[in-house]
């Protein structure tokens, strides 16, 4: 079939590659000039020199099997592109949970990590082991209507603050008191208890666009129509010839192009808008009306990344500013960052730090000021602001009983993205799996 994929984020890239592998002729459209969607490269400067950062600091984990498989398909050297380290939730004072590097069964690795947690009393370790055993006995299932905070009743405050809350807010971008326990358990099962190395942190050594989307664009260009960046799909319509896209940008202004099928890999609000343009509301089928309503009903969480330079560091040198490439931080409403990354240990300039504020609140100026003060107090480093990026609709709010739209919208019209119905929260792996699933559904 002749297929259009609208959106070159991680889901759209995965869908376009998979559909091409299945023999379809695929054209990938992206309104931006840089592929990657909400995990993409951003151009800025540091000390008057060009600098490539990301619109949000993301990581992968060893359990991201489909993402890693796709990267290998695209010719990405994952050993060079990603720094693999055992799970570390280490704080600046050295306390925290650090999994061993030994390749042992996942449950054994988790047990060793919990028993060896620094700064934890035996009561803290025992409370976590007891709760984890309860999760395993229940098959990592729980009622759909409870929160992570409710799920974890009985945990000690240190175990909650040292493991559950950082993992929850980083994986679901939703605080534990209002995050879905059901989705969180799936993440915990896959990451900590399913496969050896599943909990490993895979830290990008390159910008996020170069990590997968750029490779996908090259792969697609070699096998079919070149992806069309800077081209916006204005509207959809359907007739006897198929699905008609009205596109604008690049070398065309308002031209129509016809396809046998369309995969919408754009954000949910934009996908709902395009579905509404496809036909008159009075003629929409009930399932399509419901799809639009679900896509529009999703609430979103913001994510902020504050890039700061250690003022005593020299940008053109390679030196570590932190004891580890990633450290957890004590988080509070006045000190909102949960993690900090040393970009100098990940191929970036010396002294460049990226502070991550998941489920962020407040404006850019406030977040910047709070994080700089937090970093200087908790890390003891003099910091200067480089840039703060706030993605106001970074992820959907992964709350209990959440109903997410299905991938099938109408015959020949499908959706993919991390928000589409599935077992995972809004992660890179969730986006990739959704894109692969949508391409499979094309037939």
Q: Encode pLDDT of 48-68 as tens digits.
A: 889 999 999 999 999 999 999
Going by pLDDT thresholds of 50, 70 and 90, the confidence category of residue 195 is confident
Average pLDDT, the chain: 93
CATH of domain 2-37+210-298+403-441: 3.50.50.60
Share of the chain above pLDDT 90, in %: 85
Residue-level pLDDT at 443: 81
- At 240-250, the pLDDT tens digits run 899 999 998 86
Going by pLDDT thresholds of 50, 70 and 90, the confidence category of residue 317 is low
Say whether pLDDT at 254 is over 80.
no
Contact 243, 277 (CB under 8 A): no
Say whether pLDDT at 279 is over 90.
no
Say whether pLDDT at 312 is over 90.
no
Say whether pLDDT at 20 is over 60.
yes
Say whether pLDDT at 78 is over 90.
yes
Residue-level pLDDT at 144: 95
Say whether pLDDT at 230 is over 60.
yes
The stretch 368-392 carries a mean pLDDT of: 96
- How far apart, in whole angstroms, are the C-alpha atoms of residue 9 and residue 13? 6
Say whether pLDDT at 30 is over 90.
yes
Q: Cα separations (Å) of 383 from 318, 321, 355? A: 17, 11, 12
Say whether pLDDT at 166 is over 70.
yes
Q: What does the chain come to in residues?
A: 443
Query: Tell me, what DSSP letter sits at residue 226?
Result: P
Say whether pLDDT at 370 is over 70.
yes
Contact 313, 351 (CB under 8 A): yes
Residue-level pLDDT at 334: 96
Residue-level pLDDT at 259: 96
Lowest mean pLDDT among 21-25, 86-90, 313-317, 356-360: 313-317
Going by pLDDT thresholds of 50, 70 and 90, the confidence category of residue 102 is confident
Residue-level pLDDT at 319: 58
**Residue spans per domain, the chain:** 2-37+210-298+403-441, 42-78+202-207+300-396, 87-197
Residue-level pLDDT at 193: 87
Residue-level pLDDT at 282: 52
Does the structural domain 42-78+202-207+300-396 have CATH classification 3.90.660.20? yes
Task: Give burial (CB, 10 Å; 0-12/13-18/19+) of 367.
Answer: buried
- At 319-337, the pLDDT tens digits run 578 999 999 999 999 999 9
Say whether pLDDT at 274 is over 70.
yes
Residue-level pLDDT at 285: 80
pTM metric for this prediction: 0.94
How does 228-262 read in b/e, with b if 16+ C-beta sit within 10 Å? Answer: bbebbbebbebeeebbbbbbebeeeeeeebebebb
- At 167-193, the pLDDT tens digits run 999 999 999 999 999 999 999 999 888
Say whether pLDDT at 124 is over 90.
yes
CA Rg value for the chain:
22
Helix 286-297 vs helix 268-278: crossing angle, to nearest 10: 150
Say whether pLDDT at 422 is over 80.
yes
Residue-level pLDDT at 21: 98
- How far apart, in whole angstroms, are the C-alpha atoms of residue 397 and residue 172? 8
């Amino acid at each position: 079939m002749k297929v259009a994929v609208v959106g070159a984020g991680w889901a759209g890239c995965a869908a376009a590659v998979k559909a091409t592998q299945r023999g379809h002729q695929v054209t990938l459209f992206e309104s931006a000039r840089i592929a990657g969607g909400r995990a993409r490269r951003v151009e800025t400067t540091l000390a008057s020199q060009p600098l490539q950062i990301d619109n949000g600091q993301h990581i992968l984990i060893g359990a991201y099997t489909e993402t890693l498989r796709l990267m290998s398909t695209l010719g990405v050297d994952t050993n060079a592109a990603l720094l693999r380290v055992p799970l570390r939730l280490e704080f600046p004072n050295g306390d925290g949970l650090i999994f061993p590097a030994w390749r042992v069964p996942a449950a054994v690795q988790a047990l060793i990590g919990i028993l060896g947690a620094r700064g934890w009393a035996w009561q803290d370790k025992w409370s976590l082991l007891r709760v984890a055993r309860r999760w395993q006995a229940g098959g990592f299932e729980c009622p759909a209507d409870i929160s992570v905070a409710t799920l974890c009743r009985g945990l000690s405050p240190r175990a909650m603050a040292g493991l559950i809350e950082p993992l929850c807010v980083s994986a679901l971008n939703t605080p534990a008191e209002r995050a879905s326990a059901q989705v969180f358990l799936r993440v915990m099962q896959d990451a900590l208890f399913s496969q050896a190395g599943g909990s490993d942190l895979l830290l990008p050594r390159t910008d996020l666009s170069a990590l997968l989307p750029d490779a996908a664009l090259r792969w697609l260009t070699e096998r079919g129509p070149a992806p069309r960046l800077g081209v916006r799909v204005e509207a959809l319509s359907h007739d006897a010839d198929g699905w008609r896209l009205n596109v604008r940008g690049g070398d065309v202004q308002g031209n129509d192009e016809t396809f046998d099928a369309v995969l919408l890999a754009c954000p949910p609000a934009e996908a709902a808008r395009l579905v509404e343009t496809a036909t008159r509301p009075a003629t929409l089928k009930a399932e399509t009306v419901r799809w639009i309503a679900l896509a529009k009903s999703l609430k979103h969480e913001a994510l902020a990344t504050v890039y700061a330079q250690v003022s005593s560091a020299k940008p053109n040198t390679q030196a570590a500013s932190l004891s580890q490439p990633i450290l957890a931080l004590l988080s509070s409403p006045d000190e909102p960052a949960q993690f900090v990354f040393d970009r100098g240990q990940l191929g970036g300039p010396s002294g460049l730090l990226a502070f991550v504020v998941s489920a962020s609140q407040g404006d850019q100026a406030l977040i910047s000021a709070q994080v700089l003060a937090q970093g200087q107090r908790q890390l003891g480093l003099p910091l200067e602001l480089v840039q703060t990026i706030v993605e106001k609709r970074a992820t959907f709010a992964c709350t209990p009983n959440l109903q997410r739209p299905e991938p099938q919208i109408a015959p020949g019209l499908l959706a993919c993205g991390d928000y589409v119905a599935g077992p995972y929260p809004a992660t890179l792996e969730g986006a990739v799996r959704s894109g692969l699933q949508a391409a499979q559904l094309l037939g």
